[in-house]
Homo-oligomer: A and B are copies of this chain.
Amino acid sequence: MHFTAEQRLDDGVLEREFTLGEIPGILWTSGSAPAPLILLGHPGGLRRMYPRLVARARHGVAAGFAAATIELPGSGDRPRSAAAEEARADLRRALAAGQPVDDEIVNRLVLPLVDQAVPEWRAALDALLALPEIRGPIGYSGGVIAIGVRLAVVEPRIAAALLFAGSYVPRAMFEEARQVTIPLQVLLQWDDEGNDRQLALDLFDAFGSREKTLHANMGGHTGVPEFEGDAGNRFFARHLR
């Protein structure tokens, strides 16, 4: 892990860009005492997502956490995968034609991404936990929900996850969802144009966790109300402190 740039934001948050091998990432801390880390999930494209990511990170640091994220495979400046690009094109074609998105496309789109991304996030965890300003336990927050599900199952350092039910979940992953036992808070946008509401409710039902809470709000994919940021911090405060 190499730090490549550093700046203090106006609210005092220390933002550091890093690379982990070929993977770019960003770490946000208060710069003082060791804090529990929240991994910020996102749909890929750190530069495009930066405004929303830095807002979530500032909010988390203000509540006593550190926050970090890395670029997803095939996004931003990382090399594209021909198979993933093809799956994405098939998805776009199905949506444009008003057809239901069939499982086969979702599987091709999501499963290889999960298989590649999850070991990268775990490697990032190894590197981040070696820093003096970071301590466990760890939270995972945000999309891609399938990455969050896999991480929740395979990564024992993740103690709680706030999942955003706003992206495709292969039905093959419902079996993994049943194996999740950590506390979950699941965000669902009730009128999310790119999301199947019933599938999200079925996924919530499938999770094996004894503590799981669904927060459903009005509006589309990007309309998550601001107060859910506070609700997320309180969820992590209950489980990471």
Contacts and interface: CB of A to CB of B under 8 A. Distances in A.
A48 to B, nearest CB: 28
B225 A230 contact: no
A107 interface: no
B216 A227 contact: no
Nearest to A201: B201
A205 interface: yes
A217 B186 CA distance: 10
Given A213-B215, A213-B218, A227-B238, 13 more contacts: A201-B201, A204-B216, A209-B218, A211-B218, A211-B225, A212-B218, A214-B214, A214-B215, A214-B216, A216-B216, A227-B234, A230-B234, A231-B231
Closest 8 CB pairs of A and B: A214-B216, A213-B217, A212-B218, A215-B215, A213-B215, A210-B218, A211-B218, A214-B214
25 contacts: A190-B205, A190-B214, A201-B201, A204-B216, A209-B218, A210-B218, A211-B218, A211-B225, A212-B217, A212-B218, A213-B215, A213-B216, A213-B217, A213-B218, A213-B225, A214-B214, A214-B215, A214-B216, A214-B217, A215-B215, A216-B216, A227-B234, A227-B238, A230-B234, A231-B231
Interface of A: 190, 201, 204-205, 209-218, 225, 227, 230-231, 234, 238
